Structure 1
Amino acid sequence: MKALILSGGQGTRLRPLTYSIAKQLVPVANKPILHFVIEDIINAGITDIGVIIAPETGEEIKKSITNAGFPAKFTFILQEKPLGLAHAVKVAKDYLEDDDFIMYLGDNLINSGIKEFVEEYKENRYDATILLKEVQDPTRFGVAVVDENFKVQRLIEKPKEPPSNLALVGIYIFSPKIFSAIDRIKPSWRGELEITDAIQELINQGGMVKAHKITGWWLDTGKKDDLLEANRVVLDDLIQRDIRGKIDEQTKINGRVVIEGGAEIENSIIRGPAVIGKNTKVKNSFIGSYTSIGNNCLVENSAIEFSVILDHSEIIGVERLDESLIGRKTRVIKDGSVNKAVKLMIGDDAEVRL
């Protein structure tokens, strides 16, 4: 079995941040989202991995994966234009050949992992397997109708009147039969080849499509608030206390906090779960729960909570920075004296004075 990770797209919902970084490389808990996806796939025993890339961000994706040193073989496949998930599968046909494969959207995370679903698929040889999650607002998602045995009967993309609350998670397992189904569908009103249409065509032709309902968390990190929530959940679920940096006697560390090597903390309070990256300096500051601060940052005379700060950024004199996403090489400096919370989403290479 092979894997196909979709790491194309323009990340418009995360702009301005994604003008200069691929959305799949935005970190949660100081690790790119894409790296969590790759680790999940390798943990399921799949080491032959294709990665769909876009012209705008492809080289950055390649560099990130190559430098990480994953124990897997990677093939990078260019999708010239974002013409749909089914189109991405079609573009990858020469790579996938006649193998079964798992398709995983590169900005999705699930806490249960895919290993058990892959093993169950191999045992039963379905034509496809999809993962579903109960959601409060099914109109925002592709929705599935299943029978009592969780055999998929019908798929509807973003229905106005949802027949169920079971949304499609961005993880699928396919047999090679999906290619003939894709060949029989036409572009949607968006001009894209939709994977939901392809799966429905597979069902129409008598294919066996099995669904699994996941009960743990599922995170689609396509928007700022979703990404901050992903950071919160991952920190809450995965972080254990690990102090490798330098801490002075005045500093207090409470709870599950990771302070990476080369970091220096002076006269500050760090309240977990939180992560402080390599070579980052924190002085006279409060770092609250659910905060990830990247590598080579400076935080001075500031309070930060429920935020993600990317590498090489500086936060100076900000009384309270809350629910914020700050890009790389960005400086946020407060010169005034008014005490007010600040909520920001700032792209790379910026400077903000408050």
Structure 2
Amino acid sequence: MKIIVPMAGRGSRLRPHSLTVPKPLIPIANQPIVHRLVKDIARILSEPVEEIAFILGDPAFFGEEVVKSLEKLAEGLGAKASIYRQLEPLGTGHAIMCAEPSLSGPAVVAYADTLIRASFELDPAADAVIWTKQVDRPEAYGVVKLNDQEEIVELVEKPEQFVSDQAVIGIYYFKEIENLKKELQFVIDNEIINGGEYQINDGIKRMMAAGNIFKTGTVDEWMDCGNKNVAIETNQRIMTFMEKDGSEEINSQPTLENSTIIQPCVIDSSVVLKHSTVGPHVSIGAGTVIDNCTITNSLIQKNSSIKNATLDEAMIGSHVKYDANFTKISIGDYSTME
């Protein structure tokens, strides 16, 4: 089994955090989004993962440190890491085709901007599976249309009339991914463009027309990381799940000086808390010092210093120095203070 991970986008909706760190590597509960996603997929699959192909963007942004992080992720799952580049933003279908040498055999394609929780088994009768989540407002999503045999017969983007309440979440399984490769090659060769780009959906629709059977795999939880507000919400939900699962990360022991932690929190053991109350639902990365603060429902990354602050639903990057007692501050582009 292979996992194909297109992750070349810059994540503009998550600025300023994605200005210096690729969005898939921004931590949720102290672990990069793409790491959590790939590990969750590997847990669902009944077959061992032999290869993980990552499609990255410009090497100037997705540099050697990113590559090493992804190679370590694959190695930890007993898989080979293959690194490809999508140097132009030409769409989801084009991104997959950038990994053309790896497009053979059974594979999962997963776009690295969401997190999931799921416990289903892949349908052995299906040529492909599109992972979906039941939603309350299907008109806001791309959804699948099913026939009487619960097979997917159509993909409908933001339907005005009710089609189904199963929204496509951006994760797909193909029993033979070379079938998708063949159809996407046709899409590119014939310049079939939607929204100015080559889309995976056009390859999937051609597979359906050729008689391939598509089924759904419904996930229990689908969590977005597209912007600051939903990333904070996802950070909270992941910690709640980790607490229920008995994760050891919830019980890590930072240095406490007259401070209190209200669980669930994920705090690196190298963190120092002084005269502060932290939690619930706070993640804090390695090397950070919190002094005289009250912090709830927030995400703070590595090697930062936060003093004299009362924070709720805050997202703070790495190497930040913030002292709420001072008023002369310098904040970078696309930052928000509310």
Q: TM-score range by the shorter chain?
A: 0.7 to 0.9
Query: Does structure 1 conserve the Cα–Cα contact (< 8 Å) formed by 2:40 and 2:117?
Result: no
Match of 2:55 among 44, 48, 52: 52
Cα separation, 1, equivalents of 2:227 and 2:192: 26
User: Tell me, what secondary structure is at the counterpart of 1:202?
Assistant: helix
Amino acid at match of 2:114: N
Q: Which range is displaced more, 61-70 or 147-156?
A: 61-70
Cα separation, 2, equivalents of 1:329 and 1:315: 10
Query: Does structure 1 conserve the Cα–Cα contact (< 8 Å) formed by 2:131 and 2:168?
Result: yes
Cα separation, 2, equivalents of 1:241 and 1:12: 32
Name the counterpart of 1:254.
none
Name the counterpart of 1:249.
none
Query: Does structure 2 conserve the Cα–Cα contact (< 8 Å) formed by 1:42 and 1:72?
Result: no
Cα separation, 2, equivalents of 1:265 and 1:206: 62
Cα separation, 2, equivalents of 1:264 and 1:86: 48
Name the counterpart of 1:76.
83
CA deviations over 1:241-300 (Å, ceiling 9, x no partner): 759xxxxxxxxxxxxx4324xx31111111010011131110000101111011100101
User: Tell me, what secondary structure is at the counterpart of 1:170?
Assistant: strand
Amino acid at match of 1:330: V
Cα separation, 2, equivalents of 1:161 and 1:197: 22
CA RMSD of aligned residues (A): 2.4
Cα separation, 2, equivalents of 1:132 and 1:16: 30
Q: 1:277 to 1:172 in 2, by over 3 A?
A: same
Cα separation, 1, equivalents of 2:139 and 2:24: 24
Cα separation, 1, equivalents of 2:186 and 2:247: 53
Does residue 324 (structure 1) correspond to residue 317 (structure 2)? The answer is no
Cα separation, 2, equivalents of 1:272 and 1:47: 37
User: TM-score normalized by structure 2?
Assistant: 0.87
Q: 1:178 to 1:241 in 2, by over 3 A?
A: closer
Cα deviation, residue 65, structure 1 = 2.1
Aligned residue runs from structure 1 range 146-225, under 5 A: 146-161=146-161, 163-174=163-174, 175=176, 176-185=178-187, 186-214=191-219, 216-225=220-229
Aligned residue runs from structure 1 range 80-95, under 5 A: 80-95=87-102
Q: Which range is displaced more, 190-199 or 5-14?
A: 190-199
Query: Does structure 1 conserve the Cα–Cα contact (< 8 Å) formed by 2:40 and 2:116?
Result: no
Match of 1:266 among 245, 257, 269: 257
Name the counterpart of 2:302.
311
Cα deviation, residue 205, structure 1 = 2.3
Identity %: 30
Q: 1:183 to 1:288 in 2, by over 3 A?
A: same
Cα deviation, residue 67, structure 1 = 4.2
Cα deviation, residue 61, structure 1 = 2.6
Name the counterpart of 1:65.
70
In the alignment, structure 2 segments of 5+ residues that lack a partner are none
Q: Aligned pair count?
A: 319
User: Tell me, what secondary structure is at the counterpart of 1:299?
Assistant: strand
Query: Does structure 2 conserve the Cα–Cα contact (< 8 Å) formed by 1:83 and 1:192?
Result: yes
Name the counterpart of 1:253.
none
Q: Which range is displaced more, 126-135 or 283-292?
A: 126-135
Name the counterpart of 2:276.
285
Cα deviation, residue 130, structure 1 = 0.5
Cα separation, 2, equivalents of 1:269 and 1:278: 15
Q: 1:200 to 1:3 in 2, by over 3 A?
A: same
Cα deviation, residue 64, structure 1 = 1.4
Does residue 294 (structure 1) correspond to residue 301 (structure 2)? The answer is no
Cα separation, 2, equivalents of 1:32 and 1:347: 22
Aligned residue runs from structure 1 range 237-252, under 5 A: 237-239=241-243, 240=246, 242=248
User: TM-score normalized by structure 1?
Assistant: 0.83
Match of 2:118 among 112, 124, 133: 112
Cα deviation, residue 225, structure 1 = 1.7
Amino acid at match of 2:322: V
CA deviations over 1:179-213 (Å, ceiling 9, x no partner): 22223334434211111222122112222111122
Does residue 8 (structure 1) correspond to residue 8 (structure 2)? The answer is yes
Does residue 100 (structure 1) correspond to residue 90 (structure 2)? The answer is no
